[in-house]
Amino acid sequence: MQTPTADVAADRAAPFAFDNSYARLPERFYARVQPTRPPAPRLLLLNADLARELGADPALLASEQGARWLSGAELPPGAEPLAMAYAGHQFGHFVPQLGDGRAILLGEVIDRAGVRQDLQLKGAGRTPFSRMGDGLAALGPVLREFIVSEAMHAMGVPTTRALAAAATGAVVRRERPLPGAVLTRVAEGHVRVGTFQFFAAQGDHEAVRTLLDHVVARNFPHLAQAPNRARAALDEAVARQARLVAQWMALGFIHGVMNTDNMHVGGQTIDYGPCAFMDGFRADRVFSSIDHAGRYAWNQQPRAAHWNLSRLAGALARSIDPDEDRAIASAQEAIDAFPDLFAAAWREAFAPKLGLDAAAPEAEALIDGALRLLGGEETDFTLFFRRLCLAAEGDAAPVRALFRDPRPLDDWLGRWRAALEAGRVAPEEAARRMRAANPAVIPRNHRVEQAIAAAEAGDLAPAERLIAALRRPFDEPAPEHADLAAPPAPAEEVRVTYCGT
């Protein structure tokens, strides 16, 4: 990560080679907007590695001119700023028009791997979809998304990414005055379930088909020749979401607000608002301040994804088959595949955490048993699985020390070791698999909050240190980062997280 400390010589050369396919769609898909000019733009964090992946010069982006581009003060050449239209079910209640209320899509670039990527400014000001909001973002939510999304990427989870965080010099008024900031987000598109719902709710089936063509070309190009592309795209979305949610849960991650407008049809994690990683494990853990009924608790995320996908199926039904009965039957068949797909993805995500193959006959029972053990004492989720790596090598003392009463653990450890032996998994191989699946360092809530508080006071060092440690989450942390792997002290524990608006 590169933090700019001094300006470098910068000309007016375009930082990105834009090719904006979404801006070429019919104008009812978006509203053309201009970012709000910040009074005093200043770059705070720059993801230099990601900049290079996008074909951009990090030195140019770190310059004063770069700060103007990455804050919305000035448009980079080739940008065509717009706010996307979409609808969504929010906590089960349908809102026919939402849209980008504080995000502005600058355009698209083809990265060095040949993948088309969106560049979007979050917190860049009011749009026609802002409703009563100001369209701005405070520094805290910007840093949270920067830290957590980059950690998710490092842990191998499909996700939007963070290119830059810029201070605006403006004051954002929430419960208290806060420093304003803008996040430059990178994603393989920003089409959501709610984007399809927006047009389907209007009966605009031509727009649904146009959007489907865009998503297939963008996110599912291997389906271009499928005989029924709408059904094939729905099948792909169901499979990707099953894998994604299983990956979240295997890391103890809670998205916090799985509304259909926050669900990326291409299977990326998107919209890091009141998200959190669990410390002490409880299956029904909720962090979001607005999730009063636990709709999006850790153990409710598969149900929420399944429900969201059924809304996508409904929006695509007319494109699947013009005959209503056949369309409903086909869409239902696709949705009914989710439980089995998720169960398989769950085993594939959790079995390596125990050093086992997903097909091992004992894997599912051992996973369930481990979670019951953790829930019994609200044992730290990340520490348990990481210390289990040592137990695979013969030293169970560190993992036993996590439990007040280790006797139930001892019984489980015996069954686990027997499963490893039955599968002919050598201790060193089990430990290798486990260390590749169980992170040593995660963005613990208290560390993220400490980094935000320091940044609001003008000190970015804690955020930079946390980001550096999270680059290689599966490695044992360097001595100077060892404390970042520790759970919070009781007084440091974060029990509630808040939406970024």
pLDDT in tens, 4-37: 444 444 445 789 999 999 999 999 999 999 999 9
Answer yes or no: do 155 and 254 share one domain: no
pLDDT at 150: 98
The per-residue pLDDT for range 421-475, each reduced to its tens digit, is 999 999 999 999 999 999 999 999 999 999 999 999 999 999 999 999 999 999 9
141 in a structural domain = yes
Answer yes or no: do 44 and 181 share one domain: yes
Q: State mean pLDDT over 328-350.
A: 98
Cβ atoms of 71 and 41 within 8 Å: the answer is yes
pLDDT at 9: 40
Q: Burial, 364: exposed, middle or buried (Cβ in 10 Å; 0-12, 13-18, 19+)?
A: middle
pLDDT at 5: 44
Residue 101 annotated as part of some ligand binding site: yes
Q: Is the dihedral of CA 238, 239, 244, 246 positive or negative?
A: positive
Which residue(s) pair with 18 in the sheet?
A: 109
Q: Classify residue 113 by its DSSP letter.
A: T
The per-residue pLDDT for range 194-236, each reduced to its tens digit, is 999 999 999 999 999 999 999 999 999 999 999 999 999 999 9
**Which of 118, 235, 261, 291 does the annotation list as catalytic?**
261
Residue 271 annotated as part of some ligand binding site: yes
Answer yes or no: do 32 and 118 share one domain: yes
The percent of residues in the chain predicted with pLDDT above 70, rounded, is 97
Answer yes or no: do 277 and 326 share one domain: yes
Answer yes or no: do 229 and 341 share one domain: yes
pLDDT at 8: 40
Answer yes or no: do 124 and 209 share one domain: no
Answer yes or no: do 90 and 220 share one domain: no
85 in a structural domain = yes
64 in a structural domain = yes
Answer yes or no: do 286 and 313 share one domain: yes
44 in a structural domain = yes
In terms of Cα–Cα distance, which of 58, 51, 50 is closest to 150?
Answer: 50
pLDDT at 13: 79
Answer yes or no: do 143 and 221 share one domain: no
Answer yes or no: do 203 and 281 share one domain: yes
Q: Above 60 in pLDDT, residue 3? A: no
Residue 99 annotated as part of some ligand binding site: yes
pLDDT at 12: 55
Residue 102 annotated as part of some ligand binding site: yes
Q: Which of 171, 187, 203 is the last residue of a domain?
A: 187
Q: Above 80 in pLDDT, residue 51? A: yes
370 in a structural domain = no
297 in a structural domain = yes
Under the banding of pLDDT at 50, 70 and 90, the label for residue 499 is: confident
> Which domain covers residue 28, as residue numbers?
22-187
Q: Above 60 in pLDDT, residue 65? A: yes
pTM above 0.85, yes or no: yes
Residue 262 annotated as part of some ligand binding site: yes
Domain total of the chain: 2
Q: Classify residue 333 by its DSSP letter.
A: H
Q: Above 80 in pLDDT, residue 392? A: yes
Answer yes or no: do 215 and 154 share one domain: no
Q: Above 90 in pLDDT, residue 160? A: yes
Q: How is residue 169 written in tokens?
A: 């010099």
In angstroms, the CA 119 to CA 76 distance is: 11
Answer yes or no: do 183 and 202 share one domain: no
137 in a structural domain = yes
Q: Which of 287, 313, 348 is the last residue of a domain?
A: 348
Is residue 279 among the annotated active site residues? no
Under the banding of pLDDT at 50, 70 and 90, the label for residue 175 is: confident
Residue 294 annotated as part of some ligand binding site: no
263 in a structural domain = yes
Q: Which of 315, 348, 381 is the last residue of a domain?
A: 348
The per-residue pLDDT for range 239-284, each reduced to its tens digit, is 999 999 999 999 999 999 999 999 999 999 999 999 999 999 999 9
Average per-residue pLDDT for the chain = 96
